[in-house]
Amino acid sequence: MYDTRTRDLKEIVDREGLVTIYCCGPTVYRDAHVGNLRTFLLADLISRTLQLQGLEVDLIQNITDVGHLADDFQGEDKLLAEAERTRIDPFEIAREFEDRFHQDLALLNVQPARAYPRASENMQSMIESIQRLIEIKSAYVGSDGSVYFDATSFESYGAISGNKLEALKPGHRYEYTDEGGKKFHADWALWKLAGARTQMIWDSPWGLGFPGWHIECSAMSIDLLDAHVDVHVGGIDLRFPHHENERAQSNSLTHSEVVQTWVHGEHLLFEGKKMSKSAGNVVLLKDIKTRGIEPLALRLVFLENRYRSQMDLTWAALEAAHATLRRWKNSMAQWGEAKDLKIDLDLSQAFAQDLDTPRAILRLRAIEKDQTIGNQDKRAIFLFADQVLGLSLAEIPMSKPITGEVQRLLDQRVIARKTKNWSQSDSLRDQLANLGIEINDGAAGQSWHWK
RNA sequence: GGUCGGAUGGCCGAGAGGCGAGGCAAGGGACUGCAAAUCCCUCUACACGGGUUCAAAUCCCGUUCCGACCUCCA
C-alpha cells in the first residue's frame, strides 16, 4: 500500500498472522455522506484483502462524539451547535447518527470492526495520556490553563504532511486568532478548559473541560491495539493536522513508531464539485436509495476507481453501476448455484498491489465475456472476487416479494397477450413499470424482475 | 506563497517506451405484435510547445489549465 509518510509503496507486514488496522471514524453530528463512506470502504477493502491472503485482521474504528475542538474563538463545537439548533441532548444526537452510520455501513457490506470506541467513553485514558505527555515534557499547561502539546518537542513533526514547523506560519489563509495560552503557533490543545460551556465537559486534573480532537485517536489506538497499528486509514484531509498531531502524541507516549503504514483515501467530488453544503451537492446513501439505485452500486462505483485518486461521482456513473450489478447478479444466477471458489491470480494480484480494484473489475468484465471459460468457473471466480469486492453477487436479484396487486396485473397481461390485445398489454406493462417491475417478453412467454 | 497530485475519444475512466483497455451514451443490425433485455457491428483519444529515442499517451524540459492540503473537513 502507498504509505503517506514514506511516500512510497510499502508492504503490509503481519505479526504472526495478525494485522491491526485503525480507521478514523465519523464525527457523529450529521449523516455520513458518500465521501465519508468511501473512506470507510477503504478500510474494509484493506481488511478483506488481507483476509483473502489468510491473515487475521483486528480493525478498530473510533466514534468522535465529543465534537472537534474549535481552533479559534469563533469556532463552535459541531455537536453542541447541532444540539443547540435542535434542542436535543447532544449525546442523544450522537447516538442517533452513530446508529445511522452503522446502518449505512451494513448496506455497503462493510464488515464490522471489532470495536467502535466512543471518545466520550475513553475520557480516563485520554486524561492519563495527557498527564503522561506533561510528565515527559511533551506538553504543558498554557497561560490560559488549558493543556497544549509542544510541537517543537517532537523531532520528526511534519513527516506525514511534509509541513515544516518554520513554514507553518500563521495567518496566510485564515484570519489568525491567537489561541491565548499557546507558547508556539503550531502547538495544539490536548485539554481545553470548559469556559462558558456547560455540556459535554468532564473533570480533569486541570479543571472541567474537554479533550482536543487528536488525543482520542492516540489514546484509543494505544489502548485497543496495544500501541501497534499496522495500517492507519483516514481521509486525505486528515493528513494534516490530525494525523500529524496524532503521530506526535502517540510516538511521544510510547517512544516508538506506533503506526507502520499511513493510508489516505482521496476525496470525492460530486458532479465535478467538492461536496459541500454551500454547493448543495452533499449526497447521502439515503439519496441514492431514493433514486432507486442499489446501495451496493455505490460500492461498485468506488471499486471502479483507485482509492488514491480523486474521483468525480455522478448520477450517470451510479446508474451504470446499478445496471452492471444487476447484470452480474443475473448472470451469476444463470451460471448455477455452486458455492465453490476458484482462485484467480490476476484478481488476487490486483488486490494485493496497492488495492488495484479497477484492474480487478476489468478482469471480471473480461472473464464475463470469455467464451473459453465455463459457467461454473465463471461463477466460482466471481465468488472468489466477491470476498473482497463485497457486492453480494450470489444474491438473487429479485429479492422483494410481490404484492397481490402486482400478481394480478401480471396475470392480466398474460391473458391480454394471449388474446393479442396489444394496447391493453402495453398499458399493463406501463403500470407495472411504475411499480418497479420490468417486463421481458421472450419465446417462453412473459417474465419479469425488479428494476 | 509552500507542498503534493492530475489533464486520455460525446461522457467516465485504465494503461506508464513499440501491437491503440473497458464501461456508459450514440448510431446500425438480429430478435420482438411493439418494447425492454440480450447478442453482433460502428465511432479510435492521450492539454500545449520543445527535446531524448529506430519508436513517446508513456521518459526529460518548459508552458497553460484543474484539483488537494497548508490548524472545520472523509
Q: Measured in angstroms, what separates residue A209's CA from nucleotide B72's C1'?
A: 20
Query: Nearest nucleotide to A327 by CA–C1' distance?
Result: B37
Q: Measured in angstroms, what separates residue A397's CA from nucleotide B33's C1'?
A: 29
* Residues forming CATH 3.40.50.620 domain(s) in chain A: 2-265
For residues A398 and A100, give the distance between their C-alpha atoms in angstroms, rounded to a whole number.
25
Q: For chain A, 451 residues long, give each residue's pLDDT as a single digit of tens.
A: 888 888 778 889 999 999 999 999 998 888 888 989 999 999 999 999 999 999 999 999 999 988 654 433 344 567 677 777 777 788 888 899 999 999 999 999 999 999 999 999 999 999 999 999 999 999 999 988 999 999 989 988 888 887 777 766 544 443 334 456 788 888 888 998 888 788 888 999 999 999 988 999 999 999 999 999 999 999 888 888 899 999 999 999 999 999 999 998 888 888 777 776 666 678 899 989 888 888 999 999 899 888 888 888 888 888 888 888 988 988 898 888 899 999 998 899 889 888 888 888 888 988 888 888 888 999 999 999 999 999 999 887 655 667 888 889 989 999 999 888 988 898 998 888 888 788 888 777 788 877 6
Torsion, Cα A256 A258 A260 A264, to 10 degrees, reads: -140
Cell reading at A187? 502547538
Which residues 330-389 of chain A have a CB under 7 Å from nucleic chain B?
A: 356, 358-359, 362, 365, 369
Phi/psi at A370 (5° precision): -65, 120
Q: Choose which CATH entry (3.10.20.30, 3.50.40.10, 1.10.4190.10, 3.40.50.620) describes domain A2-265.
A: 3.40.50.620
Cell reading at A367? 472473464
Task: Tell me which nucleotides of strand B come within 7 A of a protein CB.
Answer: 1-6, 11-15, 21-25, 32-38, 40, 67-74
